[in-house]
Amino acid sequence: LEAARRLAEHTGGVVAVTGEVDLVTDGRRLAQVRGGHPLMPRVTTLGCALTGVVAAFLAGADDSFEATTAALASYAVAGELAGE
């Protein structure tokens, strides 16, 4: 978390760290996204695909932090549904 926060402050961007609980920070704000499915880490290319989903959410977004958080939350829900 601290490394992500420092990176966001240094770059002026938003940093997302995915895992059992995803973290999103812009250096000032922090969001934790829970969800997904235990099989997700075992599926090749899901991380790469998430990059594209985040990019789609960022297109035209006014707030990169909120858009990134929404993208990760949507991906978590999609993972839960797919896991069922």
What is residue 9's predicted lDDT score, i.e. its pLDDT? 97
> What's residue 2's pLDDT?
96
Three-state SS for the chain is: CHHHHHHHHHHCCCEEECCCEEEEECCCCEEEEECCCCCHHHCCCHHHHHHHHHHHHHCCCCCHHHHHHHHHHHHHHHHHHHHC
pLDDT of amino acid 53:
97
> Do the bridges between strand 15-17 and strand 30-34 make them parallel or antiparallel, or are there none, so unpaired?
unpaired
CA-based torsion, 60, 34, 25, 41: positive or negative:
negative
Per-residue pLDDT of the chain (84 residues; tens, 9 = 90+): 999 999 999 999 999 999 999 999 999 999 999 999 999 999 999 999 999 999 999 999 999 999 999 999 999 999 999 999
How much is the pLDDT for 48? 93
